[in-house]
Structures are given as structure tokens and as C-alpha cells.
Amino acid sequence: MAQGIREVKRRIKSVKDQRQITKAMKMVSTAKLRRAQDQAQAGRPYAQKVQQVVASIAAGNTSFKHPMLQTRPIKKTGYIIITSDRGLAGGYNGNIIRKLIQTINENHKSQDEYTIFVIGRKGRDFFVKRNYPVIGEVVGLPELPSFADIKDIASTAVKLYADEQIDELYLCYNEFESAISQIPQVNRLLPLQSVDSAETGSNYEYEPDAEEVLASILPKYAETLIFSALLDAKASEHGARMTAMGNATDNASDIIDRLTLFYNRARQAAITQEISEIVAGANAQV
Amino acid sequence: MSKLTVEIVTPERVVYSGEAKMVIVRGVSGELGILPQHMPIVSPLKVAPVRILFEEGKETIIAVSGGFMEVSDNKVTILAESAELPGDIDPDRAEEAKRRAEKRLSDKTSDLDIKRAEYALQRAIMRLDVSQK
């Protein structure tokens, strides 16, 4: 019995240590979540403005035949998937990877029909290990990513589309809804959905001309959408990790409670037994 | 006289926001000076400093790359991949970037590399330019 008690005591200690770590991680994620949300907020004016300009051009001149606005027969599809570099974020990576694989299985018969760009170490490892056609990757993004960090992969993807190497481009990421809920999304990025032109802004003059302006803005627009998805995904990552670590902390507390109860019971039983042994011994001597 | 509201925005933050008398930018087809009551216009910008002139004769210069400008209702919005105030620029880093770009240009490899190096060189030169003013 004494052996069992010591073992339980050691487990309590070890679970307590784990709880300390998960608790710390939860608090760190909470702080990072707030910063990530701030950053997503700071990026919004840019995205809105770009969209507004694109919308007003599209609304003013419907005669444009820019390749990025046109649907063409689909021979090859590109997917950009945003995952995290680190684990311990609950279902964050699993959910989005599963969603993408499901989409791929539904829509494609062979690997020649699609290609994948991965952001984040977890997704990279997963797809590379399983021999998926990964043609671009970004790993080790900083905590607060800057536009320059993903510019390369974004413009590569947009360029492949412009060169007709791929005929559509999808963006897969966890959309941030709240700290406890992130929704895996697979959204079509290119060709651009008809931009919402409800806001009929001013009638612009274009310098040098509308077509050229559109040609320079549309790729930027696509890159901006990728960047804001990344910021959203970062916020989701921290939210997911915060929730996962919160649950882990709660579970650790439960386990500690249970073990402590068991420990106290065992200890009391041992004492009781010892007393009754002494009493029995004393009685026997009289 | 009415004033212009100027806003310079990058994907990461709002770099500059304030009122001005005049804004001078270098568009793809030449220099453009924007005064109040300018008609709505959209133009992509070259990698070049943007000058913001104030009422009292002062001016601010901002290094802008990869952007375009939109003007409507006395509001000038410049959207750029990067934009820096003179105080934010690290001259040593820009100098370093300039050297690197020049080296890459003199080495001559593939087409794409040259384009990128030229772009980097332009940016570095502009930053140095702005930081020295």
C-alpha cells in the first residue's frame, strides 16, 4: 500500500507540472490572440479600400475582359492552405487539412489536376510526407506576419494563374469567428467573384487608362485577400490554442482532484490499519 | 480654401493620416500634383517618394513602393505595399540593400532575378533619398 501511495503522489506532482505549462500556454495565447486581432483590424482599411476601387472600376466599365475576372475551362486547380507552424492547437490543423483533402477527393481524380501551396510547418509536413503535389511553401512565419513574408507565395500563385498554368485558385484557412469557434473554409479566390459593387462610388478618371489600372490593381487585390486570410488564420490559431489549452488545464485539475481524493483515502486507510494493528498487538500482550 | 485629407495605408497599418494643401506623386505616366477639388482619379504609382505639402510651406516626404493612389471628394488615399516616413528608414539597411541589388544586377542570371533586383534597387535608392532629406 505504501508503494501505491507514493506512486499516486508522484503522479499528482507530474499532472500539476503539466497543468502549469498548459495554463501558461493558455495565457500566452490569450495575449497573442488579442494582438493578432488588432493586426487583422489594422489591415482592414487597406483591404476595404482596394476592394472599393476594384468594385468601382468593375461597376463603371463592364466591358473589361481581364483574365482574372473570367472563368475558363478548368484543367488544373491551385490550393493555398494556411496552417500553423506549431501544434498543441486542438483541431486547428487537423480540421483544415481534412477539409482540403475532402475537397480534393471530391473534385479530382488524379494528382495532375491540382497543386498545393502550403503556409505553415504542420501542413507542409503533412502534405510532403504523403506525396501531395506541393509546389510552394512558407514556414516559420513570425508571430505578427508582415505583407512581405507572404508576398512571394501570393504573387507566385497569382502569376501561375495569369500564365494559365492553373485555371482556378482556392484559399483554405480557418476563419476566425470567435475564440472558441473557428470555421475551416475553402473559398475560391480566382477568378474573382463578381466584386460586390453595391457601393457605387465616384466616377473615376484613370491614369493612364482604366485597363492598365485594373491590370495593376487586380493582382494586388488577390494578394491582399491572401494576406487578410493569413491574419484571420493567425487569430484563429491563437483562439484554437487558447481553447485547447484551457480544456487541458481543466482536465488536469479534474485529474488532480481525483488523484488527491484517492491519495487521501489510501492514506487514511493505511493509518487506520496501522492503529488497528497496534491496538491488536497491545490487546494480545495484556 | 478647402483642404485635402491624405491617408497612406499599407496592409499592415495606416502609415500617415492628416490634412494637406497639395500632394505630389509620381504616377506610371508621370508626375501628378493633386490640389483640393481635384476630380476623382485612380493611378498606379512608381516606386518614388510622395510629397505632402502643408499650408505653412512645410512638407513631408514618404517613401512609397508598390502602390496606387485614389482621389475622391478631396480625399487622397494611397495604398502601398510599403510606406515609410523618413524617420522610420534605416539608412544602413537601405545602403546594404542597394549594394546587394547592384551586385545581383552585375552578376546577371535569369530574367526574373533581374526584374526583382531592379525593383529592389529602386526601392533602396528611394529610401536613401528620402532619409537624407
For the stretch A200-213, pLDDT in tens is 555 777 777 777 78
Alpha-carbon distance of A283 to A266, in angstroms, equals 26
Interchain CB contact of B119 with A (< 8 Å): no
Q: What is the mean pLDDT of residues A6-24?
A: 94
pLDDT at B82 (0 to 100): 85
Give the residue from chain A lying closest to B72, CA to CA.
A202
| CATH value at residue A53 | 3.40.1380.10
Q: What is the mean pLDDT of residues A64-77?
A: 78
Nearest to A8 by CA among A259, A268, A264, A271: A259
CB atoms closer than 10 angstroms to residue B29: 13
Chain A residues with at least one Cβ partner in B under 8 Å: 39, 42-43, 45-47, 49-50, 53, 57, 146-148, 151, 201-208, 212-213, 216-217, 220, 224, 227-228
**Which numeric CATH code is attached to B89-132?**
1.20.5.440
Residue range(s) of every CATH 1.20.5.440 domain in chain B: 89-132
Whether the pLDDT of residue B39 is over 80: the answer is: yes
pLDDT at A44 (0 to 100): 82
pLDDT category of residue A81 using cuts at 50, 70 and 90: very high
The three cell numbers of residue A17 are 507540472
Question: How many domains, in total, are found in chain A?
Answer: 1
Alpha-carbon distance of A280 to B82, in angstroms, equals 87
- Of the candidates A39, A202, A224, the beta carbon closest to that of B72 is on A202
Whether the pLDDT of residue A199 is over 70: the answer is: no
pLDDT at A184 (0 to 100): 92
pLDDT category of residue B111 using cuts at 50, 70 and 90: low
- Which residues lie below 8 Å from residue A261, measured CB to CB, with a gap of 6+? none
Nearest to B32 by CA among B71, B79, B87: B71
Superfamily of domain B4-86: F0F1 ATP synthase delta/epsilon subunit, N-terminal (2.60.15.10)
CB atoms closer than 10 angstroms to residue B131: 20
Residue range(s) of every CATH 2.60.15.10 domain in chain B: 4-86
pLDDT tens column, A211-268: 778 788 888 888 888 888 898 899 999 999 999 999 999 999 999 999 999 999 999 9
Bridge partners, residue B48, by sequence: B64
Q: What is the mean pLDDT of residues A124-139?
A: 91
Which residue in A156, A207, A220 has the most chain B C-beta atoms within 10 A of its own C-beta, making it the best mutation to test that interface?
Answer: A207
The three cell numbers of residue A142 are 513570425
Confirm whether A105 is domain-assigned.
yes
pLDDT at A194 (0 to 100): 59
Pick A162 or A172 by higher pLDDT: A172
Q: What percent of chain A has pLDDT over 70?
A: 92
Indicate yes or no: CB of A206 within 8 angstroms of CB of B42.
yes
Alpha-carbon distance of B38 to B34, in angstroms, equals 6
Confirm whether A69 is domain-assigned.
yes
Q: How far is B86 from chain A (nearest CA, A)?
A: 20
**What sign does the dihedral A172-A176-A179-A180 (CA atoms) show?**
negative
pLDDT category of residue A154 using cuts at 50, 70 and 90: confident
pLDDT at A61 (0 to 100): 59
Edge-to-edge, what's the strand order for the sheet holding A168-178? A134-138, A114-119, A77-82, A168-178, A181-190
pLDDT at B109 (0 to 100): 64
Q: Rounded to an integer, what is the distance from CA B25 to the centroid of its chain?
A: 7
Which domain does A99 fall in, by range? Answer: 26-243
pLDDT tens column, A100-119: 999 999 988 888 889 999 99
Alpha-carbon distance of B5 to B7, in angstroms, equals 7
Q: Rounded to an integer, what is the distance from CA A87 to the centroid of its chain?
A: 10
CB A93 within 8 A of CB A87: yes
The three cell numbers of residue A104 are 480534393
pLDDT at A279 (0 to 100): 94
* Model-wide pTM > 0.90: no
Q: Rounded to an integer, what is the distance from CA A201 to the centroid of its chain?
A: 35
pLDDT at A181 (0 to 100): 87
pLDDT at A201 (0 to 100): 52
- Which residues lie below 8 Å from residue A80, measured CB to CB, with a gap of 6+? A116, A117, A119, A153, A157, A169, A170, A171, A172, A189, A226
Indicate yes or no: CB of B41 within 8 angstroms of CB of A50.
no
CB atoms closer than 10 angstroms to residue A189: 24
